[in-house]
């Protein structure tokens, strides 16, 4: 792991990665931020991504045309996930693999947090892969399905019981933890150099090719739910801070699949930041707004009424 604090500061030539690492305006744990910035500053991202991105987007257009000729239900999900696991094991950088694997854990924990603190608790189906080969169990597809199924179950239950999401004075944070994944355990072969953004740009047209049009569009549109999930958390905690740095909005305006790769990276970063905020509140590092509001209301209720 690069220790960005060891980078010397030259005022005539300041290092942009050092500035981003030291900046505390975005909520990220230091070890996650270090991995993210090491991946972002890699030669792969600097020299390969500018060539990979236009080719990947052209491929999305061509595959969309090809899908017109293929049977509507044509798909090979198991082949897709075996291909993803193979390439992650052999070509993707340790930092990128670690961040991808963390994402399944964090996304599951955030949904569990919302489900446990909703007025009508909603069960979830957590995904917690411990090694890259676990991806073969159609994990990416299950991740997308879990999100939509959760939103549908949650809101169906709220409507049935005439309830709405709202502040919880003492939220249940018991499901939150730092995923037990070690960066050192990720594959570190000579060819494991592909950065996160380049890998995702390559995977997006492969995902499109080996899934049905319906599955691919659903996966792309799932990125629009970042704001939805953040609003749920903000309502529980009475904290608009949880809407910070969201870029995949608005959920009612689907975007083109051409930028799905870039939006997926933003989705991963938003998930990391939301999880970090929840962890800070769980440990008391950040004051819990809903608790403060409850105390204020309780104090106001005890105040003598004017005659």
Cα–chain center distance at 276: 12
User: Which tokens in the block code for residue 107?
Assistant: 């996304």
Supply the pLDDT for residue 6. 83
Name which of 61, 58, 146, 50 is nearest 105 in CA terms.
Answer: 146
Domain ranges in the chain are: 43-290
**pLDDT averages per 10-residue partition of the chain, 307 residues:** 77 91 90 94 95 96 91 91 98 98 97 96 93 97 95 96 92 96 96 97 95 91 86 85 62 80 91 92 79 58 47
Supply the pLDDT for residue 223. 86
Which of helix, strand or coil describes residue 92?
Answer: strand
pTM for the structure as a whole: 0.91
User: What phi and psi values does residue 194 have, to the nearest 5 degrees?
Assistant: -75, 125
Q: How many CA atoms lie within 13 A of 198 on its CB side?
A: 24
**Which residue's entry shows tokens 């236009």?**
54
Supply the pLDDT for residue 70. 85
Q: pLDDT tens-digit profile of 122-133?
A: 999 999 999 999
For residues 182 and 250, the answer to whether their CB atoms sit within 8 Å is no
User: Which tokens in the block code for residue 240?
Assistant: 């608009």
User: Which tokens in the block code for residue 27?
Assistant: 């909520």
User: Which tokens in the block code for residue 143?
Assistant: 């991740």
Torsion of CA 163, 279, 219, 98, to 10 degrees: -160
Rounded to a whole number of angstroms, the distance between the first and last alpha carbons of the chain is: 66
């Amino acid at each position: 792991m690069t220790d960005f604090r060891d980078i010397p500061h030259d005022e005539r030539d300041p290092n942009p990665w050092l500035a981003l690492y030291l900046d505390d305006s975005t909520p990220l744990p230091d070890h996650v931020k270090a991995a993210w910035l090491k991946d972002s500053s890699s030669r792969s991202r600097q020299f390969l991504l500018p060539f990979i991105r236009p080719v990947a987007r052209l491929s999305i257009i061509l595959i969309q045309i090809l899908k017109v000729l293929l049977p509507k239900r044509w798909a090979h999900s198991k082949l897709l996930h075996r291909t993803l696991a193979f390439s992650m094991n052999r070509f993707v950088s340790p930092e990128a693999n670690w961040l991808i694997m963390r994402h399944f854990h964090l996304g599951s924990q955030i949904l569990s947090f919302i489900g446990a603190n909703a007025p009508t608790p909603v069960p979830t189906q957590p995904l917690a892969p411990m090694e890259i080969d676990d991806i073969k169990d159609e994990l990416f597809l299950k991740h997308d399905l879990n999100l939509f199924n959760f939103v549908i179950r949650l809101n169906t239950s709220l409507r049935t019981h005439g309830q709405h999401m709202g502040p919880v004075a003492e939220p249940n944070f018991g499901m939150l933890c730092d995923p037990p994944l070690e960066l050192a355990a990720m594959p570190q072969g000579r060819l494991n150099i592909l950065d996160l953004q380049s890998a995702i740009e390559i995977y997006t047209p492969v995902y499109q090719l080996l899934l049905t049009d319906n599955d691919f569009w659903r996966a792309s549109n799932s990125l629009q739910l970042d704001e939805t999930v953040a609003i749920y958390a903000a309502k529980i905690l009475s904290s608009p801070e949880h809407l910070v740095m969201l870029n995949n909005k608005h959920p009612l305006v689907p975007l083109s699949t051409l930028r799905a790769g870039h939006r997926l990276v933003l989705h991963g970063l938003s998930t990391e930041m939301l999880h970090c905020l929840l962890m800070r509140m769980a440990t008391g590092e950040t004051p819990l707004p809903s608790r403060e509001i409850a105390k204020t209301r309780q104090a106001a209720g005890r105040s003598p009424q004017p005659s």
